[in-house]
Structure formats: C-alpha cells, structure tokens
Amino acid sequence: MSTVIEVDDVWKKYRLGIIGTGTLRHDFERWWHRVRGKPDPHSKLDERSEIRNRKSEVVTNVGHRISGVSASLGDDEMWALRGVSFEVKQGEILGIIGRNGAGKSTLLKILCRVTAPTKGEVRIKGRIASLLEVGTGFHPELTGRENIFLNGAILGMTKAEIRTKLDEIVAFAEIDTYVDTPVKRYSSGMYVRLAFAVAAHLEPEILIVDEVLAVGDVQFQKKCLGKMGDVAHEGRTVLLVSHNMNAIESLCQRIAHVEQGQVLAITNDLRGAIAAYVSGPTTTDATEWRNPGDALLNPWFRPLRFYLGDEHGKLAKMPIRNDDPIHVWIEGEIDQQDVALTVGYALYNEAGILLYWSAQTDVAENLWPRLARGRNALRSRIPPRVLNQGKYRLELIVALYCRQWISSPGANAPIIELSIQGGLSDSPYWMEKRPGLLAPVCSWTLEGN
Amino acid sequence: MSGTVVDKSPAAEWDLIIRPKTGWLDLHLADLWRYRDLTAIFVWRDFVAQYKQTILGPLWHILQPLFTTLIFTVIFGKMAKLPTDGVPPLLFYLAGVTCWSYFADCVNRTSVTFISNAAIFGKVYFPRLSVPVSVVISSMIKFAIQFALFLAFVIFYWMQGAGVHPTAAIALTPLLLVLMAGLSLGAGIIVSALTTRYRDLQQLVVFGVQLMMYATPVVYPLSMIGGGSFRWLILANPMTPIVETFRYAYLGSGTFVGIYLCYSAGFTLAVLFIGVVLFNHVERTFMDTV
C-alpha cells in the first residue's frame, strides 16, 4: 500500500485574542506615536501580562515537551500543533482522537487547506474531500437538488460529475420526495443525510470526517459507517475524528492520539489507544475517599475508605468502560454490633438526579453479609450495562435502620465519582450514549411464530 | 512514534504539497480555472436565491434605476438645472445610473467576501477568488436587465427624433463592461482583504462609493466642469472615461478621448493585480484571525 498523506513536522502557531480587534484608528495612533517616539498607547499592560500568565500556564501544563520552541513564541502566541508527523496509507481508516483543544481540528484544517501551517510540510496524493460540518454551504432557499449541485461544486466536483451521481445521492440520502423542496423545510436529519450523501459520493481519494456521526438517526449512522467502510474497501482513505469511541473502535484500523498539539501515539492497538486516551492525565475524578481520621465518628460503623475498584480491591481508573467489572468498596470499623446497621451507597447522575440506593440489607435477611467487630470490607458490583455513558456521583450511606443516620446522602456523606465511557453494547447499531437516564442492555427473544 | 518521515519521494509524485508560506506572486490562478464550475454555480445561486422569496423578482432591477433616474431628473435636472449636454435628461441620468449601479454593486458586494463567507471558508477549501468573481458575473445579469431598459428608452427617444445620436463607439460596450467589472473586482477584493484587519473599513466603503459617484460624471456631464480647478480630480477617477464613453456611444453626447480610456484600462489592471495579490496573501491565514 502506498502512502497517500505525509505530514512532516507540522507546526501551527496561533495568536491569542488580540488579532482582528485592530481598528484603523488604533493602528494609525500606534504609528503616529511610533513616529514621535512615544510608547504605544494601546498596549494594554494588564491585558498583556494576563495573557502572559495564561501562556505560562499552557507551558507548565505541557511541561518538558515544549523545550526550546517556546523561545520563538511572542507574548500572545501559542502552538496549536508542535511537530506533528505521521503517514497515512491508501485504503486505511485512521481514527484521530484527543481532547478538545488538543489540535485535532487544527490538523484537519491544515490538511483541508483551510489554513496554512506555520512550519513543516504536508504532502498529499489524490483529491481530498472534507465533511467537517453538516451542510457546509447549503443555501436554505435552494431545493435539495440545487443544493446537491452547490455543495458538490464547493467540495470540488464538476457539474458533469454531479449530474451522473445525482440519483445515487438522492437515493442514499432518502429524500426522494423532497428533492425539490427548499432545504430550509428539511428536518435536521434530512439535512445531515443529504450532506453526508454528497460528500460520500464525491469519490475523493481521501475523505475527512469530523464528528459527523453525532447527528442523524441510528439507522442512518449505520449506513454512514457502512459507506465509510466501502470507501476504504475501494482503496480510498478515510480520516475520522470523533469523540465517539465506539465508532472509532468499530471502524478504524489505526488510531492517532493527539494531545497538546502532538501525536502521542499512532498505533493499531485500538483498545490500548482508547484506554490511554480516556484515562488520560487530566482526569481529576475522585474515585476514592479516605477517612482523614476524625470524620463520621461512631461505634457502629466508622467508615475508613470508600472507593471504586476491581474485584480484588485495586483502585479503578476513570473513566471506565460500561462492560468493565466495577465494584464499590466500603471499608469501616465496628466497635459495637447492631442488627439495624445498613451500609450502602446512593448513585446520582451528573444532573444530580438520584438513580438508586443500594445497601447490604437489600436481600433476604439470611443472605446479609455478617459483619464482625473490627475492620470490615464490603464490596458490591455496580450492575454492568445498566448505566448510560456519563459521569456519576456516589454518596456513602451508613445508618441504623429507622433510628439514626451516620452518613446521609445529600448531607454529610463522603462522595466519590464514577465516569463511564464506551463499552455500552456489542451491537453495531448502538454506537454512543443513549437518550434516557439508563442504558440497560436487555435480552430479547423471538417467541412463537 | 511510527510517523518518522524520510524524505525519499520526489515532489512530482505528490498531487499537493502544503507549505507554510508561498510567495506573494504565487497566485494559483489555475485553481480558479479548475473550479470554474463552482464559480458558475455561485453565479446561478446568487441569482436564484435572491429572487426566490421576492414577489416582484427581477422586476426590482427595472424599478430601482427608474426611480433613481426620476429622482435625479427632478433634483439635478429640474431644481439644480444642471446641463445634460443637450440630451433628454431621463436618458442622460439613466445612462449614468446604469453604469454606476453596476460598479457600486460589485464593489459593495465583493468587499464583504471574507466577512460574509467566514463560515464556509473555515470549513472547506476552494479558490476563494471564485466568490468575488462570481459576484461580479452575477451582477452582470442585473446590469443586462437595466441595460435593456436603457436601450428601450434610447430607441424610443431615437424614433421620436429627440437629440439622440448613437455612434460607432457602441462597439466598445463589451470593453466598458469588462473595465467596470475588473475595476470593481479589484477595488472590492482590496477592501475585503483589508477588512479582515480593519473592520471599520467596511463602513467607509459603502459611504465612499456613494461619495465617489459625485466625483464621477453621473449627474452632470464632464463638459460642465470645463477648466475648473478640480477637473483633474474628476479625470483621475478611472470611472469617468467609462461613463463618458458609454454616453458618447449611445447618446452621442459626452467626451470620448482614447487616451482617457487607456488610462482607465491601465488603472484597472493595476488595481486588479494589487487586489489579487493582497487577496491571495490574506486567504492563506485569514481563518486564524476571525
């Protein structure tokens, strides 16, 4: 397989804030003051030092990796890309992942020639088409058919090419009956379908797709994924940027992990790369609470540690996949045994809605764990594939049933956080977060005839 | 990282090489030609989209110059009693208005190229120049309608035998149109390139174009200026010979001096060249500044 894209040590510098606010009068005044040898009346000292602070923050975040280059930065500049190099082979589907602001979009913009790199070179073989935002250049007053021509031409097709593809595009987008309706009357789903259909039929050698699958119904998403697969089978190349790890995992052969303007890794170990990305260094979730010593003092059950871990008690790293076994661990000390003791947790979603309570006394009395004096460790598995993708809050429950709260959710309870990403289902139709509070995978059977 | 690139491949193997900076004179005009279908579709879009929702549609093109001409006739002809070189005032003003409104339209619309297309320019590459070029062309449709109106009046007056003497200079009409297109395109894209840095220039353009009309013989004939002290100002205006030649061609009045027209042509080429160079320079990094 030959190489179709070579990104060779590409750097991109952006200026923070200042540019574009320049007005003719300010520039003229600057010039006039310079002519007379006076200081610039518009260099806002406070603002500038603030920006410098912001930048030094950036630099410290980036740490050692920035070495040397920062010297060539002006006061209000920052590097969005810092020495990015990689190759893409023909017929490959490369997933690009990374946090917001990591430089993914900048990289794509350079590949699409929307903006020029500051340093470095990109070599490309074949025609590039980008599907960066749905319906780029659609004109609301024009009909579907007219917009196919407009959009196709913007993406680089000639009129003759579009004409030969027209029926195929209309059929793929499933808009047959609305093809002569102005697109302003289209639903957002139809809009997306039409936009994707045009780009997908462009027959570019290289197709760049940025987060487009976030819209459209599940059926159409499936169709798009299929089409991208086809495109690659035909020997064309796809670059896919997405925060949807399920789509990336099911579609891509290789993943480039971009962070802070650099390619951290480019690998065909998809699971590894995704795991490295989702458990990246910026995760600040508190997955563990430890008793500082004097909290929640009582003789019945003094909580010592409340955390999320695997079944052996190894602390979990957030976020976790929804099919990973994840356990809530509660360790505490008992001086005085009491039959009314109830220990458990309350689970809230990101919006603060209580999803459920769970306690060790939820089952028949003869099945309750027998807590002894001294130190006890309770473990409870969080039901797999019930929660939706997202962030959750767990609050510790310790109480004497109907008598006394020791650790009360919403009041004095210790809090830990859980974040779930990916692994929602094995279904190819289920690529991302479901609507609804929960996303259980229920079993279905075919009955009778 | 597995992406270490060894530079072994000859440049000819690649279809496209993206580099940080290209020279000021690297205008990649071949791209513009390759995307000619896009320019054509932009022209068509401008025209179709503009009238899809208006009741009167292209009729506006006729009403606009007619009303302007009527107002000019009343104010400058009847009240200020400015001379019209012995031509019926209505025809005199209509000729000026037809030319001027094409020029003014093109300048105003091309000068917002970057600002009003920021969203699409930020998403996908195509030769940016195809947008202002399509504007200049789609404005020609409007010009054609107004020109037809003007011709109808010329023929009407001519049949009445009212002081209208078309001359052989009519053959210069395509040249005049091309000059106006080139001049307005050049001026418009210079402004559009500068407005990416100086937003307030935008206000100046609309206002400036209005003022410039009075430095062009639209509501008065060049002959009226005589040897006045600001005759040079009017003559330095590259639109002056164009409007005057247009009148001379169809009405037989006005000043037609070959050298003046050559000056306009030279001016147009210079403005166009500067415009394209500036425009190309700005388009490469424009997205970083908005």
Of A208-212, A214-218, B51-55, the least confident: A214-218
* Average pLDDT value for chain A: 80
CATH 2.70.50.60 intervals, chain A? 288-420
pLDDT at B7: 44
**So what CATH class is A288-420?**
mainly beta
pLDDT at A48: 39
Residue B102: pLDDT band (50, 70, 90) is: very high
pLDDT at A279: 64
pLDDT at A246: 76
pLDDT at B267: 95
Buried b (16+ CB within 10 A) or exposed e, B131-162: bbbbbbbbbbbbbebbbebbeebbeebbeeee
The DSSP H or E segment spanning A8 is strand A3-15
Asked if the C-beta of B48 comes within 8 angstroms of chain A's C-beta atoms, the answer is: yes
Classified as helix, coil or strand, B21 is coil
pLDDT at A266: 87
Residue A363 clears pLDDT 60, i.e. is over it:
yes
Interface list for B 118-177 with A (CB within 8 A) = 119-126
Q: Alpha-carbon distance A208 to A339, whole Å?
A: 63
Residue A186: pLDDT band (50, 70, 90) is: confident
Asked if the C-beta of B12 comes within 8 angstroms of chain A's C-beta atoms, the answer is: no
pLDDT digit string, tens, across residues A247-292 = 788 888 899 988 888 888 888 888 888 877 766 554 445 788 888 8
pLDDT at A22: 52
Rounded to whole angstroms, the maximal C-alpha distance in chain B is 86
pLDDT digit string, tens, across residues B13-23 = 788 888 886 77
Contacts of A185 in chain B (CB under 8 A): none
Residue A65: pLDDT band (50, 70, 90) is: very low
What fold is seen in the domain A3-9+86-126+205-279? Rossmann fold (3.40.50)
pLDDT at A70: 40
DSSP state letter for B75 = I
Percent of chain B with pLDDT over 90: 38
pLDDT digit string, tens, across residues A315-351 = 888 888 888 888 999 999 999 998 899 999 999 887 7
Residue B170 clears pLDDT 80, i.e. is over it:
yes
pLDDT at A23: 60
Contact B125 A150 (CB under 8 A): no
Contacts of B200 in chain A (CB under 8 A): 23-25
pLDDT at A204: 80
Residue A73: pLDDT band (50, 70, 90) is: low
Mean pLDDT throughout A165-184?
89
Model's pTM, two decimal places? 0.68
Mean pLDDT throughout B75-87?
84
Classified as helix, coil or strand, A395 is strand
The residues, ordered by sequence, that sit 6+ positions from B169 with a Cβ below 8 Å of its Cβ are: B245, B248, B249, B256
Residue A379: pLDDT band (50, 70, 90) is: very high
CATH 3.40.50.300 intervals, chain A? 3-9+86-126+205-279
The residues, ordered by sequence, that sit 6+ positions from B215 with a Cβ below 8 Å of its Cβ are: B233, B234, B237
Helices (H), ranges, A36-178: 45-62, 104-111, 144-154, 159-173
* Average pLDDT value for chain B: 85
A261 in Cβ contact with A99 (< 8 Å): no
Contact B198 A146 (CB under 8 A): no
Length of chain A: 449
Could you tell me which of A197, A210, A203 has the C-alpha nearest to residue A169? A197
Contact A124 B15 (CB under 8 A): yes
Residue A409 clears pLDDT 80, i.e. is over it:
yes
